[in-house]
Structure 1
Amino acid sequence: MFRFPPLTPLLKQTLIGLLVTFVGLAILEVWVEVRVFGLLALYPARPGVHTLWQLFTFPFVYPPGPNSVLGFLIQLLFLWLILAPFELRFGPKRTVQLCLGASIAGGAVAVFVGLFLPIDVPVYGTNPWLLAGITALAMTLPKDATLSFFGVIPMKRDHLIYLILGLSVLSFLLSKNWISLVVDLTSVAVGALFIPWSRRPQGKRPRPKKPSAKGTGGLRVIQGGNDDDDDRPKYLN
């Protein structure tokens, strides 16, 4: 039976932050008429100084509009289903590293491609986190293991990754958006490489130093006398 994973601390803060950002952006864009979305979303065809912060901010913004509420809520739901199990298994630190790696790598590749294909479309939303999270969770399983896709469809680990890639390609065929395609493919690659990277050897531990006679906490060994002519009484002190 399918059950929702527990709401982990980092994920709870992330969902609240995304919701507050979405509502605040909607108020500023629709009611105050201050254009903030263009400052926070990533525009690969317009590289500049603003690109430096847009690599970090674009996952947190979603275009406000009457038809965007449902899509935004579905995105939050999938974040819960994917990142909560990852955080439970690997902790908040690894979760942050995975999300940052996916967004920065995906955004950087998009900017590079945008230099040659000037497609003026924004990159926004948590899709890199979702794709990297699904792929990373799949990579933790044995190759022949069978998993239940959201508790509904049983499939092999590699089949799940192929499904993600197929959906990305299908989205590209419907939109002709090269930027979105390269962001998706880069995010999947980050998720596939993240697990081997996180399990790499951390280096040899330094060997403990042997205690010396001069540095034993203020104590030093004093050799007792072995003279048989010493008739003084001996005591155990």
Structure 2
Amino acid sequence: MRTVNLVSPDDVTDEAEARVAIVRACRHLAAAGLSPGSSGNVSVRVGARILATPTGSSLRSVTEDRLAATPSHAEGSPRPTKELPLHAAMYAAHPEARAVVHLHSPHATAVACLPPGEDGFAALPALTPYRVMRLGSVPLVPYAAPGTSALASAVAAAAAGHPVLLLANHGPVVAAASLDAAIDLAEELETAAQVGLLLHGSPAVPLDAAAVAALTPPGR
């Protein structure tokens, strides 16, 4: 028995456009090497629904018709990624967000395996202006197993005021007002992590406190 679909025509149009955008984003992230194997998941919020990549899928091969919608209006529809609770926690912490991207990108994941810095945040030194302006301070969320309520709870505790997070021993998750903006944040985080790792142990000169203060977004 099918559930009656009560969404408006505008919602249907928005959802169709969101499906196209998600698949395009997935292909971009896969081509950039930011989602190895079947890792990584992407979601977009359309009205009261969340469209997400399905469980067990790879970003390089996901298709519009196999994206999962929750709450679902049809029996037998694709099941969303097991990380949907993580995505929901990010949306709850950021009401303005319309997209969440979670990846296992190599450099950001490597930094997520390091102990936090002296400030308690992820070990991402303030080496460049864009590292500070775009990312702000990046919490390192304590480890919890992927797909668990414990992980979603840990994300919920850390996400307020922080749209960019690193999950300890796991990878990055970001939320933004659009899918393009979320991808930009994920790529900025990966670049900042790469630069930090390239210079790790070298006499690199970070931005001084005054420069960091001048660049830091309000509330971040």
Scaled by the length of structure 2, what TM-score is found? 0.25
Higher helix share: 1
Higher strand share: 2
Scaled by the length of structure 1, what TM-score is found? 0.24
